[in-house]
Amino acid sequence: MIPSFSFARIPNIIFGAGKLNELYGIIPKFGKNILFVIGENSLKKSGKWEEITSNLESKSFNYSLISISNEPAPTIIDEVATKFRKKNIELVVGIGGGSVTDAGKAISAMIPKEDSIKNYLEGVGSKTHDGKKIPYIAIPTTSGTGSEATKNAVISEIGPKGFKKSLRHDNLIPNVALIDPELMIPCPSSISAACGMDAFTQLLEAYVSPKGSPMTDTLAFSGMKYINKNLLSACSSGASNIEVRTAMAYASLMSGITLANAGLGIVHGLAGPIGGLFDIPHGVICGTLLAEATKINIEKLQELGSSGKEGLRKYADIGVLLLGNKFVEQGKIDEYCSILGYTLDGWTQDLKLERLGKYGINIKDIEKIVEKAGLKNNPVNLNKKDIKTILINRL
Amino acid sequence: MIPSFSFARIPNIIFGAGKLNELYGIIPKFGKNILFVIGENSLKKSGKWEEITSNLESKSFNYSLISISNEPAPTIIDEVATKFRKKNIELVVGIGGGSVTDAGKAISAMIPKEDSIKNYLEGVGSKTHDGKKIPYIAIPTTSGTGSEATKNAVISEIGPKGFKKSLRHDNLIPNVALIDPELMIPCPSSISAACGMDAFTQLLEAYVSPKGSPMTDTLAFSGMKYINKNLLSACSSGASNIEVRTAMAYASLMSGITLANAGLGIVHGLAGPIGGLFDIPHGVICGTLLAEATKINIEKLQELGSSGKEGLRKYADIGVLLLGNKFVEQGKIDEYCSILGYTLDGWTQDLKLERLGKYGINIKDIEKIVEKAGLKNNPVNLNKKDIKTILINRL
């Protein structure tokens, strides 16, 4: 039986190598006074930013520029929103990795407000954002967060009392997601690996989520298929191959669409608190935890007996997919689940995903992380001991 | 290689049995002054309209009502748009089959204009609609056209100089698609059959379209899977089974999303002119032509040799799906293509889809239809003789 479901609007998607050039035709639909939010480095280094500005100038667009380094903190968003509040900005364009596209999303939502973003963050403030925003175009330069298609912007305050929380509203889904895989070619392999694992985690967690629908299932599966064939290559010999980068960009887009509509699981339930307490890139957290979390989820579902079967079947589907075999034989579910587990172990190793200890987390921090962890839409209940095991296995 | 593609925004989808009740919570987001567009019969007969009005009254919404019979003509749309132009309508809600939801879509787009819809119809008028409209909620009561998710409204003027043409703009995609399979239970089996075949045609034509992307492919495939399992049942013993109706409603929704983004083929290239010249329900035209058109497309691809292989593979995928087998063996492509052909022949027979002759079309009309036919995004070129053969085989 197909369950009841809701599916939020997706952005207008423009996808393909060289599509950045369409930006200049899209801008006038929104106005002429644009705020660009970009990262600190890559876009400028690659010469792309120069190309963009020369195009903007030739079209006589008025534009302002803000650079974002690291994952966006509330103070940065407040500062930028305040600065541009009275400047009649008609369009915000964010070009960069997930931090930048999330920052752009948050800025576009906070320019029309009068107070701090902290008041609207889930689990931090007491207000609910009403979705009013300046139109927003997201242009990703990494294949990872899928932020170009999601309804939330993740905002971080890192430290002992730190948090990593979302500003969320259906209307914060970008108006346009312009995805040009050429922009991803310069992305270094360690970042491609972390982002690719983040995308795969999002697809997998959405696929096994009890909040999923046939629509999110089929989109998530389609994304995982492309990651399976291209992830290792995108982080090594295929880094400059546009076909490989295109496949990863597509998978990342699918991950954003599916997480927005089916939710996520324990890996993201841990990535929030870990990312708030420690300065570790989000993709690294997801990548390093995924295999362990998946194996424990499978174990817990196996312990449930018949009531865990539907959940196991979902994991088995992914095992079959990774094996490249197109059909699941009845009775082989456990076998396919273990194929999934050891394939993910292999990726963790091949992609050299760092352990948490490398970033200064040690055994005495585990309790605090577990305390703050959430299960989100994990397909099976995990107790504190289970969550602790996931972390310790990747310390 | 994933090709470049665009994907338009989809509606905010609210899907599931009993979800009609959410309408009253959604309306206030748009306003309090609503124009309802409904069909002539079914909604009133089933008592649903009474239920709706009593809810609207209890919430003190102001509403006006327009009933639409048959496929909408330009004169009807103009008349309604003129009548409500100065009435401060804040929301249009269309509840009915494809004709009604298309009429609602067209009315919501024409209220803000000052002239006739004819000026904006593709291939009829010389103006392009700018997408400005009154917000629109589509609530389908049949599982067929997928109009609740498309960006066009089909408008018909039937007669010797008749046409069936679209008003089209990305922004005409309904703001909300509220899909409640309970509303489909009263749908008689002949209409369920025609609509179900229309939905399957849309999914198949989008799946084999060269304009498709992995995203439309996966959504189309997901829709076809549910039609394969439920179509015959929805038109017979399963007509009152909510699980069956839910599956068909999901497939129909997928057909709207995929046709809007991948286009259609020769069956719809014929349905336009036939529907303009003769008074035949759109679903009947599609249903009666699909098997023949599919067989001729496959034949033509086979004649192409190696350059037709990719196209044949797509048809073979569908053959495999209909067979319920999950993998395609290399070399068996032709076999799976013929399975597709004879399965569709079987459906045509089992669902008692009428021949064109039944609606007064005879051999001397064929030339005129062929003259007006378009290939749309058909995966292979067809000449006039091929198109004639499709028609003659279903005369």
Contact A1 B327 (CB under 8 A): no
Phi and psi at residue B15, to the nearest 5°: -130, 130
Contact A11 B9 (CB under 8 A): yes
pLDDT at B276: 95
Is pLDDT at A367 greater than 70 in this prediction? yes
Per cent of chain B over pLDDT 90 is 94
CB contacts of A245 in chain B (<8 Å) are none
pLDDT at B45: 83
Per cent of chain A over pLDDT 70 is 98
Among B6, B217, B222, the residue with its CB nearest the CB of A14 is B6
The answer to whether A168 and A181 are in contact (CB under 8 A) is: no
CA distance to partner chain A, nearest, from residue B143 (Å): 15
Among chain A residues, the shortest Cα distance to B22 is held by: A6
Residues of chain A in Cβ contact (below 8 Å) with chain B: 1-19, 170, 213-215, 217-219, 221-222, 226, 243, 246-247, 250, 254, 325-328
Distance CA B242, CA B245 (A): 5
Average pLDDT over residues B356-378: 96
Q: Band the pLDDT of B43: cuts 50, 70, 90.
A: confident
CA distance to partner chain A, nearest, from residue B326 (Å): 6
| Single-letter amino acid code for the residue at A200 | F
Contact B15 A214 (CB under 8 A): no
Distance CA A58, CA B41 (A): 58
CA distance to partner chain B, nearest, from residue A51 (Å): 22
Is pLDDT at B325 greater than 70 in this prediction? no
Among A16, A213, A219, the residue with its CB nearest the CB of B218 is A219
Q: Band the pLDDT of B389: cuts 50, 70, 90.
A: very high
pLDDT at A326: 59
CA distance to partner chain A, nearest, from residue B82 (Å): 28
DSSP string, B326-367: --PPTT-HHHHHHHHHHHHHHHHHHTTPPPGGGGT--HHHHH
Query: In whole numbers, what is the pLDDT of chain A averaged over residues?
Result: 96
pLDDT at A40: 85
Q: Band the pLDDT of A44: cuts 50, 70, 90.
A: confident
Is pLDDT at A329 greater than 90 in this prediction? no
pLDDT at A43: 87
Using CA atoms, how far residue A256 sits from A34, A148, A170, A294, in Å, is 25, 7, 13, 20
Write out the two tokens for A245. Answer: 């980068």
- ipTM, two decimals, is 0.96
Q: Look at strands A12-15 and A176-179 and give their pairing.
A: parallel
Distance CA A70, CA A99 (A): 7
The answer to whether A237 and A269 are in contact (CB under 8 A) is: no
Is pLDDT at A324 greater than 90 in this prediction? no
Contact B4 A16 (CB under 8 A): yes
Contact A7 B13 (CB under 8 A): yes
CB contacts of A13 in chain B (<8 Å) are 5-7, 215
Contact B16 A8 (CB under 8 A): no
Q: By C-alpha distance, which of A120, A55, A117, A38 is closest to A85?
A: A117
pLDDT at B11: 97
pLDDT, tens digit, 9 for 90 and up, residues A203-235: 999 999 999 999 999 999 999 999 999 999 999
Distance CA B62, CA B53 (A): 10
Q: Band the pLDDT of B42: cuts 50, 70, 90.
A: confident
Average pLDDT over residues A69-84: 95
Comparison of pLDDT for A41 and B162, the residue scoring more: B162
Q: Locate tokens 């291209």: which residue? A: A230
3-class secondary structure, A151: coil
pLDDT, tens digit, 9 for 90 and up, residues B175-194: 999 999 999 999 999 999 99
Among chain B residues, the shortest Cα distance to A149 is held by: B9
CA distance to partner chain B, nearest, from residue A258 (Å): 12
pLDDT at A229: 97
Cβ pairs A/B, distance under 8 A = 98
Distance CA A82, CA A111 (A): 7
Describe the crossing of helices B363-372 and B384-393 by its angle, rounded to 10 degrees: 140
Contact B13 A6 (CB under 8 A): yes
Q: Band the pLDDT of A17: cuts 50, 70, 90.
A: very high
Among chain A residues, the shortest Cα distance to B18 is held by: A4
Average pLDDT over residues B249-270: 98
Residue to mutate among B1, B4, B203, B230, with most A CBs inside 10 A, is B4
Average pLDDT over residues A270-291: 96
pLDDT at A341: 97
pLDDT at A254: 98
Q: Band the pLDDT of B388: cuts 50, 70, 90.
A: very high
pLDDT at A330: 64
**Which domains does chain B show, CATH number per domain?**
12-184 (3.40.50.1970), 189-393 (1.20.1090.10)
Distance CA B295, CA A284 (A): 51
Three-class HEC string of A319-336: HHHHHCCCCCCCCCHHHH
Range name among A193-202, A331-340, B202-211 with the lowest pLDDT average: A331-340
Long-range Cβ contacts of B363-366 (<8 Å, 24+ apart):
B363/B392, B363/B395, B365/B277, B365/B278, B366/B391, B366/B392, B366/B395
